[in-house]
Chain A
Amino acid sequence: MEAVQECKLPQTLLDGVKSAVIEVMESICGKASEHGECGAAELSCGVIGVISLIGQDAWSMMVGLPRGTAIAFAKQFTGDAVAYDSRDMGDVVGELANIIAGQAAGRMESAGLKASLSLPTVARGNGIAVPVQYELPSVCMGFTCPQGIFWVRIASAKRGPSGRFRPASSTCRS
């Protein structure tokens, strides 16, 4: 699968997140692989989990699950049916984002890039889109597991002199 890449991200980050997603989803669902339908998944009704890592640089990760995938995944993850509209669904998707980001952070730390995880934030809605932010390098990757398709978007930035973050490269949107 070819990732929808708007601008260049550190390869260590890209590889770390991709392998974390596959490993975590394989351990929960038995099987997981990449596929190329990121754009379509982004437009579906569903749930997104957002988590950030902050160190010398920062990156954020969004996991997007279409409604059907979210319901099937939550059942696989918890062993019980979880209502799509319930608060438990927030816990499941937040925990999924947390586990994937934790795994990825471990890989990044092995590469000398230590970072702290934020709280995950979870939102639900129809037609959810995550606009690419100007000059922020980001990649959207589509995945599939037996419970359905899902996507993961990552973005990164470097810390500026003021302590706020700025894009890691100059121009990412033409």
Chain B
Amino acid sequence: METIECRREQQLPCALIDCVTEAVSSTFASIYGREPQKKDNGSAEVVGDGVLGIISLVGALQCSIVLGLPRETAKAVTAKFAGFEIDYEGPDMGDVVGELANVVAGDAAGRLESRGIKADLSLPTVARGNDVEMIQQGNTTSRLVHFECTGGSFWVKISAETQAGARN
């Protein structure tokens, strides 16, 4: 599997980046039968008209994982994931995107645990809107990874406390 470049000065644990991106690849491969393609890292984290799936890990690592799905990607991915079309404006969209975030984070937590980093999952939270963007906080460092899958493009933002240090 292609690895994401990881530098210590980013202060984001390389193990965290690896485990989350591997979890995303594995989850989307199980949905579409092929791994999503990692794209050049872009700076934009505006999902535009779209949905965010937000979930946190608490334990040896304090971090959050945000899955950003533009509207068309959300419709395509949730239909494939659920096995039937999901109304974008309907309440089921929250369920499916929340569950997708849960699956990705659960996979990532398992991979972290196999590296000796134990963390519990939070409840997923889903937000939908227009021009939705994440705001980086001063005490956190983050990494944005863009992907392209059969259903469209999406991104994952991984954030952790700056003071957490680089536990590679």
Contacts and interface: CB of A to CB of B under 8 A. Distances in A.
Interface string B138-149: 111000000000
B132 A124 contact: yes
A93 to B, nearest CB: 8
Contacts of A136: 123
Contacts of A31: none
Given A50-B54, A119-B63, A121-B54, A127 B129 contact: yes
B136 to A, nearest CB: 6
B124 to A, nearest CB: 7
Interface in B75-116: 91-95, 98, 102, 106
Contact of B56 (A62, A119, A134): A119
B134 to A, nearest CB: 5
Interface stretch (A7-15, A20-28, A51-59, A141-149): A51-59
Given A131-B94, A132-B94, A133-B98, A123 B133 contact: yes
B160 A130 contact: no
A129 interface: yes
A133 B124 contact: yes
A124 B134 CA distance: 6
Contacts of B125: 50, 52, 60, 62, 130, 155
Please classify how large the interface on chain B is, using the bins under 10, 10 to 19, 20 to 34, 35 or more: 35 or more
Contacts of B128: 128-131
Interface centre among A60, A155, A157 (most CB of B within 10 A): A60
A117 B62 CA distance: 9
Interface stretch (A32-40, A71-79, A84-92, A106-114): A84-92
Interface centre among A87, A121, A122, A130 (most CB of B within 10 A): A121
B13 to A, nearest CB: 14
Contacts of B63: 119
B159 A119 contact: yes
A128 B125 CA distance: 13
Contacts of A119: 56, 62-64, 140, 159-161
A52 B135 contact: no
Contacts of A65: none
A62 B56 CA distance: 13
Given A50-B125, A118-B122, A121-B159, A164 B106 contact: yes
Contacts of B93: 131
Contacts of A50: 54, 125, 127
A171 B82 CA distance: 19
Contacts of A48: 127
B121 interface: yes
B64 A128 contact: no
B66 interface: yes
Interface of A: 47-48, 50, 52-54, 58-60, 62, 87-91, 93-94, 116-134, 136, 155-157, 163-165, 173
Please name the 5 residue pairs, one residue from A and one from B, whose CB atoms are nearest each other, closest first.
A131-B94, A90-B135, A52-B122, A118-B56, A125-B132
Given A58-B123, A136-B123, 13 more contacts: A48-B127, A50-B127, A90-B135, A93-B135, A118-B58, A121-B56, A121-B66, A125-B129, A125-B132, A126-B132, A128-B132, A156-B123, A165-B123
